[in-house]
Amino acid sequence: MNIAKVIVDVPATQTNRLFDYNIPEYLLGAIKEGMRVIVPFGPRKVMGFVMELTDHSDFDQLKDIVDLMDVVPVFTKELLDVGKWLTEKTLSFYISVFQAMLPQALKATYKKELHKLTNEGLSDALTKMFAGREFMSYEEFTERKGDYRKLQQAVQEGLIEINYLVKSKETKKKETFITTNLKPFQLEEEIANLSNQATKQKQLLEFFAEHPEPILQSKLVSRLHTSRSTIKQLIDKGFLVENKVEVYRNPYQEENYERTTALPLTEEQHNVMIPIYENLKSGEEAVFLLHGVTGSGKTEVYLQSIQRALENGKEAIVLVPEIALTPQMVKRFKGRFGSKVAVLHSALSAGEKYDEWRKVQRKEVQVVVGARSAIFAPFENLGIIIIDEEHETSYKQEDHPRYHARDVAIYRGEQHSCPVILGSATPTLESFARAQKGVYKLLSLTKRMNNASMPEVQLIDMRNELHMGNRSMFSIALKDKIEDRLEKGEQIVLFLNRRGYSTFVMCRDCGYVIECPHCDIALTYHRNNESLKCHYCSYEMTMPTSCPDCESKTIRYFGTGTQKVEEALTQLIPQARVVRMDVDTTRRKGSHEKLLNQFGNHEADILLGTQMIAKGLDFPTVTLVGVLAADSLLHLPDFRASEKTFQLLTQVSGRAGRHTLPGEVIVQTYSPDHYSVEFAKTYNYEGFFKKEMEVRKTFHYPPYYYLTLITVAHPNQVKVIETTKKIAQLLAKHLSSEANVLGPTPSPLTRIKDRYRYQCMVKYKNEPNQRKIIKRIVTFFEDDIRQNDLQISVDLQPYQLM
């Protein structure tokens, strides 16, 4: 096997294939599949992944691999296969997929350096810059404003050579340990030989006479109140030795977690465990959908399933949504499984993540708890995969490669013949429909743990507030109840959707929202020409000046931000202490935790926030939850708006009354009759499911139909429109007559970073050739993509229709 087939780190259509390289003599046998190598590519050197080893190549004159970056493969055979499958499934580049599967730290960095080959004939400026050195980084050359033409000339004349360096970003943390090689009696001798003045040195040697085992230098210094220089003197004399030992950056110290043991299960929990145990035992793959109301004890079911998998000598992956990966959550898993757990969280530094990942690679842990990308944890003996809050959209990556962690979980579950559990109080329609068909096995938890009923939900019709002359964003009922809780010393959670981003037009008088007659989504307001557009099918109308339903003039654009709400709140109820949690206040590392702690310690009365406060929070004194504007979710230009509203209202309501104090929920809305609001009020998931399925069927949406979303972006608007039009035409021409191609139409976010964005969408049932067709279409625009900054992105499973 002297030839390696390699995927190179150059994400482009022409390079999206295997390249053959010759393995030089000295690397024969050392290079294995799944390792990173450095290979020559054009004038440069790049990182590559070895996919296969072979004896035969169709090309002759292969170039040699330059270097090997790993001792142990970074990909297992299984993960190489997962990567190939995912590349095909998401129409991505191999390199993007494989990079996404590894921790950041294993990405390559590229550097150029200048190598001075001779002292003769070099210009004075360059000679001065090198200052006697043989090498200089290219960075230094540009920083010091070197003359590019002189450099080019020197390179042409062979005076200077440019080297391309490829390095991995990974760093390992090392710590210094001190120990002694001397026997205790030798130490005693040396102590006796030391002069009487050398008390510090004596003290150290006496310590080692009693404790000969290696000790961390920093510990030694603080324990003996000694200094680094005293230690150094003894090292120089040969009495002590120092060793640099690699240690993990450990953001989660085990000793901080109190150990817990399995709780005796309730009858419901027990019934749910039986089929899971069966599958764990038989080693058969199966996907379970665990539908359990908020606070029903799903986590305990996960914990005990994992425990069983571990007892069988297997490993477990648990995915939790990014924003739910709170210290509370980590505590539950570390508490049960201690040092068997690695945590892969995006808030960790690249180094910390790399270390956690390596614990998996080295088989030092058996459980991984993490966000989306933890699904690629390099376990080789998986026994169970769990996805908590399976309805969360953060499991879908909205960037290349556009993969859904659920698909990867199910694929890996098949490879390892192990069960996958999808858990949620509000499963996606897709998953619940599959469970109804028997593709997934449905497991239900219908009761709350404390046997308390779900908190009562009161709907406040904001149209009435307006009619009563209340123009503030707080209804009278909400204001009264907030004041009541403040008096009682209880806490309140106020929820506002998003960061004030909304695009629809609504009548404040009657709640009427202008929708597309064809697509059942709210029309999007376009300020520049005062028009309303459907961004699915491009239906368009001019912005009306009065409500089409009640003729009121109060029809307008809808939206407020958290900051505005905070201001209004402190004006209305000045004595309230408010913690605001949104993207702006949680940007800094650790601020998320800090704000939550502040609220948890009751240093504030009201937690005001966006999506990120909707889940996972478990505070005993929260007895009131207020949803300020349910409408801002309900009328997002997205066919999943109703589903998202139902999910969110249910989750937010679940934050109240989780312990002994009963909870109450106030939902303010202009659409109290909307079915997703009504079903959420009574916690009726099945009712919502049935109704929403009918809507999806009528308007041809998933799960009845599949969607493909193609978004085109370019600084020139005309070019974007032309390209999108062409793509839509090509799709319509080559797909079957059953497929419905919609668009082109402006994306709801019409301009991002100075690029105009247009999109087209395909609704279809069965188009086996679609991938091939789309690939060909993208290839058709290849030159524009490469040279003219055109972007075409294809999403075969769109969630964010923005």
Single out the residue of 255, 388, 262 nearest to residue 334, CA to CA: 255
Nearest CB to ligand ATP, comparing residues 299 and 747: 299
Q: How far apart are the first and last CA of the chain?
A: 48
Tell me how far apart the alpha carbons of residues 291 and 685 are, in angstroms, rounded to a whole number: 10
**Residue choice 371, 425, 537, 741 for contact with ligand ATP (CB under 6 A):** 425
- Partner in contact with 295, chosen from Zn ion, ligand ATP, none, beta carbon below 5 to 8 Å by kind: ligand ATP
537 binds Zn ion (CB under 5 A): yes
299 binds ligand ATP (CB under 6 A): yes
390 binds ligand ATP (CB under 6 A): no
Q: Tell whether the torsion through CA atoms of 459, 460, 462 and 464 is positive or negative.
A: positive
**Residue choice 85, 248, 539, 705 for contact with Zn ion (CB under 5 A):** 539
**Residue choice 65, 293, 369, 516 for contact with Zn ion (CB under 5 A):** 516
791 binds ligand ATP (CB under 6 A): no
Nearest CB to Zn ion, comparing residues 282 and 464: 464
- On whether 418 is known to bind a ligand per the annotation, the reply is no
For residue 44, the cross-strand partners are: 41
Beta carbon of residue 652, minimum distance to ligand ATP (angstroms, whole number) = 11
- Partner in contact with 537, chosen from ligand ATP, Zn ion, none, beta carbon below 5 to 8 Å by kind: Zn ion
Site string for ligand ATP, 598-637 (x = CB under 6 A): ----------------------------------------
639 binds Zn ion (CB under 5 A): no
- Partner in contact with 266, chosen from Zn ion, ligand ATP, none, beta carbon below 5 to 8 Å by kind: ligand ATP
Of the ranges 134-142, 262-270, 546-554, 595-603, which one interacts with ligand ATP (CB under 6 A)? 262-270
Tell me how far apart the alpha carbons of residues 638 and 640 are, in angstroms, rounded to a whole number: 5
Tell me how far apart the alpha carbons of residues 327 and 332 are, in angstroms, rounded to a whole number: 9
**Residue choice 536, 619, 646, 685 for contact with Zn ion (CB under 5 A):** 536
Strands 36-41 and 44-54 turn out to be antiparallel
Tell me how far apart the alpha carbons of residues 530 and 535 are, in angstroms, rounded to a whole number: 15
Single out the residue of 227, 220, 211, 212 nearest to residue 176, CA to CA: 220
Q: Please give the structure tokens belonging to residue 657.
A: 């009354």
Nearest CB to ligand ATP, comparing residues 37 and 301: 301
The CA dihedral of 559, 560, 562, 565, to the nearest 10 degrees, is: -140
How many residues contact ligand ATP, by CB under 6 A?
Answer: 16
**CA distances (Å), origin 44, targets 113, 151, 485, 777:** 12, 18, 66, 30
Q: Residue 378 in 3-state DSSP?
A: coil
- Partner in contact with 89, chosen from ligand ATP, Zn ion, none, beta carbon below 5 to 8 Å by kind: none
Q: Please give the structure tokens belonging to residue 29.
A: 């046998």
Nearest CB to ligand ATP, comparing residues 46 and 289: 289
Is 720 in contact with 712 (CB distance < 8 Å)?
Answer: yes
**CA distances (Å), origin 630, targets 389, 636, 742:** 21, 11, 29
**Residue choice 279, 294, 431, 586 for contact with ligand ATP (CB under 6 A):** 294
Which string of b and e fits 223-254 if b means at least 16 CB within 10 Å?
Answer: ebebeeebbeebeeeebbeeeeeeebbebbee
Of the ranges 289-297, 489-497, 629-637, 667-675, which one interacts with ligand ATP (CB under 6 A)? 289-297
Contacts of 507 (CB under 8 A, 6+ apart): 513, 547, 549, 550, 552, 554, 555
**Residue choice 549, 618, 782, 784 for contact with Zn ion (CB under 5 A):** 549
Tell me how far apart the alpha carbons of residues 781 and 722 are, in angstroms, rounded to a whole number: 12
Tell me how far apart the alpha carbons of residues 466 and 607 are, in angstroms, rounded to a whole number: 26
Tell me how far apart the alpha carbons of residues 116 and 120 are, in angstroms, rounded to a whole number: 10
Nearest CB to Zn ion, comparing residues 465 and 664: 465
Q: Helix 641-653 vs helix 685-698: angle between axes, to the nearest 10 degrees?
A: 170
Is 408 in contact with 376 (CB distance < 8 Å)?
Answer: yes
665 binds ligand ATP (CB under 6 A): no
How many residues contact Zn ion, by CB under 5 A?
Answer: 15
What are φ and ψ of residue 687, in 5° steps?
-60, -45
What are φ and ψ of residue 694, in 5° steps?
-60, -45
- Partner in contact with 507, chosen from ligand ATP, Zn ion, none, beta carbon below 5 to 8 Å by kind: Zn ion
510 binds Zn ion (CB under 5 A): yes
305 binds ligand ATP (CB under 6 A): no
Of the ranges 252-260, 442-450, 535-543, 791-799, which one interacts with Zn ion (CB under 5 A)? 535-543
518 binds Zn ion (CB under 5 A): yes
- On whether 510 is known to bind a ligand per the annotation, the reply is yes
Nearest CB to ligand ATP, comparing residues 266 and 684: 266
The CA dihedral of 128, 129, 134, 138, to the nearest 10 degrees, is: -160
Site string for ligand ATP, 445-474 (x = CB under 6 A): ----x-------------------------
Nearest CB to Zn ion, comparing residues 231 and 507: 507
The DSSP element (H or E) to which 351 belongs, if any, is helix 350-361
Nearest CB to ligand ATP, comparing residues 621 and 740: 621
- Partner in contact with 226, chosen from Zn ion, ligand ATP, none, beta carbon below 5 to 8 Å by kind: none
- For ligand ATP, the binding residues in 718-757 under the rule CB under 6 A are none
Q: Residue 799 in 3-state DSSP?
A: coil
- For ligand ATP, the binding residues in 502-521 under the rule CB under 6 A are none
Nearest CB to ligand ATP, comparing residues 209 and 449: 449
- Partner in contact with 294, chosen from Zn ion, ligand ATP, none, beta carbon below 5 to 8 Å by kind: ligand ATP
> What stretches of 211-266 show up as alpha helix (H) in DSSP?
217-224, 228-236
Single out the residue of 65, 60, 30, 63 nearest to residue 48, CA to CA: 65
- Partner in contact with 263, chosen from Zn ion, ligand ATP, none, beta carbon below 5 to 8 Å by kind: ligand ATP
778 binds Zn ion (CB under 5 A): no
442 binds ligand ATP (CB under 6 A): no
307 binds ligand ATP (CB under 6 A): no
Strands 382-387 and 315-319 turn out to be parallel
336 binds ligand ATP (CB under 6 A): no
Count of C-beta atoms within a 10 Å radius of residue 76: 15
**Residue choice 13, 168, 266, 417 for contact with ligand ATP (CB under 6 A):** 266
**CA distances (Å), origin 47, targets 39, 67, 106, 568:** 6, 9, 10, 54
Is 682 in contact with 653 (CB distance < 8 Å)?
Answer: no
**Residue choice 552, 717, 729, 791 for contact with Zn ion (CB under 5 A):** 552
Q: Please give the structure tokens belonging to residue 560.
A: 């407020």
Q: Residue 786 in 3-state DSSP?
A: helix
- On whether 760 is known to bind a ligand per the annotation, the reply is no
Beta carbon of residue 405, minimum distance to ligand ATP (angstroms, whole number) = 18
663 binds ligand ATP (CB under 6 A): no
421 binds ligand ATP (CB under 6 A): no
Tell me how far apart the alpha carbons of residues 758 and 774 are, in angstroms, rounded to a whole number: 17
- For Zn ion, the binding residues in 353-412 under the rule CB under 5 A are none
**Residue choice 53, 66, 241, 265 for contact with ligand ATP (CB under 6 A):** 265
Of the ranges 71-79, 295-303, 544-552, 603-611, which one interacts with ligand ATP (CB under 6 A)? 295-303
Burial class (CB in 10 A: 0-12, 13-18, 19+), 471: exposed
DSSP string, 462-477: HHHHHHTT--SSS-HH
296 binds ligand ATP (CB under 6 A): yes
Beta carbon of residue 178, minimum distance to ligand ATP (angstroms, whole number) = 44
Report the binding-site residues for Zn(2+): 507, 510, 516, 519, 534, 537, 547, 550
Contact residues toward ligand ATP (CB under 6 A) are 263-266, 269, 292, 294-300, 425, 449, 654
Contact residues toward Zn ion (CB under 5 A) are 507, 509-510, 512, 516, 518-519, 534, 536-537, 539, 547, 549-550, 552
